[in-house]
Amino acid sequence: MKTILEINKTKVPIVRIDKSLNKYDNIVLFPEKVAKAKKAFERLGLPDLKKHSR
């Protein structure tokens, strides 16, 4: 079991589940940004990890 100190150092946070937020899951809250993301995907596709290897 992790100690509180260890948990506090982790990058993945503790997330409290609040079911009242489920209502947002099927609503696009930022339609302009989603449209922009869609356009970027249509133009560029996904980055090619092989081509851009580290």
Partner 1 sequence: MRLDRYEIKSGDRLLSFEFLSEGPKGKIQKLIQFALVNQDNYYNLAFGDKNPVTGEIDDIAVTDNGDSEKVLATVVAAVYAFCEKYPQAWIYATGSTAARTRLFQMGINKYFDIVEEDFEIFGECENEWERFVKNKK
**What is the contact surface with partner 1 in residues (CB under 8 A)?**
8-25, 28-30, 33-34, 36-38, 40-41, 43-44, 46-49, 52, 54
Give the side-chain half-sphere CA count within 13 A for 28: 8
Minimum CB–partner distance for residue 8 and partner 1 (Å): 7
Minimum CB–partner distance for residue 1 and partner 1 (Å): 19
DSSP 20-54: GGGGGTTS-S-HHHHHHHHHHHHHH-S--TTTT--
Minimum CB–partner distance for residue 30 and partner 1 (Å): 4
